[in-house]
Amino acid sequence: MIDKCKLASDRISYNGELTSASVSNILLNFDDLDVTRIIVTDSFCNVVYDSEVDGARKWQYALFPEIVTALEGNDVFYWNYHDSAMRSSAATPIFAYGKLLGCVYMMDYDTAQGTLISTLQNSILAITLVLQLILVVFSFVFSSTYSRRLRKIMSSIGVVREGDYSHKLQISGNDELNALSNEFNDLIQRLQTSENIRSQFVSDASHELNTPLASIKLLSDSILQNNMDPETINEFVGDIGKEADRLNRMSEKLLSLTRLDNLTPSDKPVTNIVPIIERTVRILSENARKNQIEVDMNLKADCWIAIPEDDMAQIIFNLVENGIKYNKKHGRLSIDLDIMDNSAVIKIADTGIGIPEESIHHIFERFYRVDKARSRLTGGSGLGLSIVKGLVEQNNGTIQANSVTGQGTIFTLRFPLYPQREETE
Ligand code: ADP
């Protein structure tokens, strides 16, 4: 548009005359101007030519900003879009021989371009709306999926808080929530392990404490129920004292949980197991008498092995007690101690109900009981043999069970002899 203005301005300037007739003559000879309105003014804004109105009605002054700017010697162009139409205007000064004659102003009102712009505007609006809609739908889907997964985590926390450590949290995906769920499952796994250890400790502790308590009860019952000579009473009272001491040591042992793990073989006290076996059998003799079980003992004079006294007492007590508990009326129980191949071999054999073949491999498992009804009647918990096996292995021994259903069971224990003692014997 500026170019068109300049072209007209050049022609007028070339003509050198700025009259209504000469200007309209020049401008009418342009076929390619193609603008809505042309105004030519002199240097004082007086309208010399206006393409829209005839000479009689033409304005005297045209004080458009474009004209004022052009009369200051500048080329000027404005455009704006309004009411679905594009309005553009331009003005350039007319100079003749270096002197400002006036200016040419052109204005074009283009509805075709306006329509194009408004179509473009509508399309952009529609695209923006669609994009916004997609954004809203996407955020809704994303936030609801995210909050569903968060709810899942919250409900898992609730389940675990109720104490169900076997619960597993399953979160799909490969993001932070998935990493969080893996961490959560790891944590639960650890909690479950420590809970298992805790409950194992509680049941083992109560079972271990139960043994000396039962001994004290049996010994005191024996003293009360039998007409004993003072010497035997003295012996039994002495045993009660020893059991009380054992109870005391056990509670100390339970307080320092790691004691057994920390003991190296050389730390372990060397014990003559013969008097321990004799004392334990004596404690249980009242039990045997009540169940009409005959108890035989065939022990070597002395037998030294590296084992804490309490562990040995606990092992023998459990095995002999079982031999009485799972025996038949008028049955027999024999306890033999022999030395073979540098080992102390203890055999505890009963003529009781025996253990079925399919159960023999399970009896050392925690809480395993062959006949649950009978075990419950005799107060069994299924823990005794698992504790026995644990203690035997901690003291470098082995335990083996052989049984024939209906005929009886033999438990064979083997412990390495304590070398120095064996040499000095
Ligand atoms: P409990 O406290 O039930 O006696 P144990 O761990 O000492 O637990 O024994 C496990 C199971 O092994 C018992 O329930 C019993 O069925 C079986 N058992 C153990 N010793 C004998 C035995 N001498 N004769 C027959 N069955 C036995």
User: pLDDT value at position 389?
Assistant: 92
Best CA proximity match to 346, nearest among 358, 336, 356, 354 = 336
Distance CA 43, CA 101 (A): 5
User: pLDDT value at position 266?
Assistant: 55
Best CA proximity match to 299, nearest among 284, 279, 329, 283 = 279
Residue 254 main-chain phi, psi, to 5 deg: -70, -30
Ligand 1 centre distance from Cα of residue 370 (Å): 7
User: pLDDT value at position 421?
Assistant: 47
User: pLDDT value at position 56?
Assistant: 55
Site to probe by mutation for ligand 1, drawn from 206, 324, 326, 353 as the one with most ligand atoms within 8 Å of Cβ, is 326
Ligand 1 centre distance from Cα of residue 247 (Å): 23
Residue with token string 């037998």: 303
311 Cβ below 6 A of ligand 1: no
Ligand 1 centre distance from Cα of residue 322 (Å): 6
Cβ atoms of residues 329 and 290 within 8 Å: no
Residue with token string 């005929």: 407
* Paired tokens of 169: 């949290």
Q: Say how many CA atoms lie within 13 Å of 127 toward its Cβ.
A: 6
Best CA proximity match to 312, nearest among 341, 270, 282 = 270
Instruction: Give the residues across from 343 on adjacent strands.
Output: 340, 416
User: pLDDT value at position 228?
Assistant: 80
Cβ atoms of residues 12 and 100 within 8 Å: no
| Local structure of residue 237 (DSSP, 8 states) | H
Q: Closest residue (by CA) to atom 13 of ligand 1? A: 369
Could you give the dihedral angle defined by the CA atoms of residues 109, 111, 113 and 116, in that order, rounded to the nearest 10 degrees? 160
Burial 380-408 (b: 16+ CB within 10 A, else e): bbbbbbbbbbbbbebbebebebebeeeeb
Instruction: Give the residues across from 104 on adjacent strands.
Output: 40, 92
Site to probe by mutation for ligand 1, drawn from 204, 360, 362, 369 as the one with most ligand atoms within 8 Å of Cβ, is 369
The per-residue pLDDT string of the chain (425 residues; one tens digit each, 9 = 90 and over) reads 899 999 999 989 888 888 888 888 888 887 777 888 999 999 999 999 988 876 555 678 888 999 999 999 999 999 988 888 889 999 999 998 889 999 999 999 888 888 888 889 899 999 999 999 999 999 999 999 889 888 988 998 898 888 888 888 888 888 888 888 889 899 998 888 888 877 877 777 787 788 888 889 888 888 888 778 888 888 889 889 888 887 877 776 566 544 444 455 557 889 999 999 999 999 899 889 989 999 999 998 789 999 999 899 989 999 999 999 999 989 999 999 999 989 999 999 999 999 999 999 999 987 788 876 655 556 566 778 988 998 999 999 999 999 999 999 999 999 999 875 444 44
Instruction: Give the residues across from 398 on adjacent strands.
Output: 414
User: pLDDT value at position 356?
Assistant: 94
User: pLDDT value at position 377?
Assistant: 57
102 Cβ below 6 A of ligand 1: no
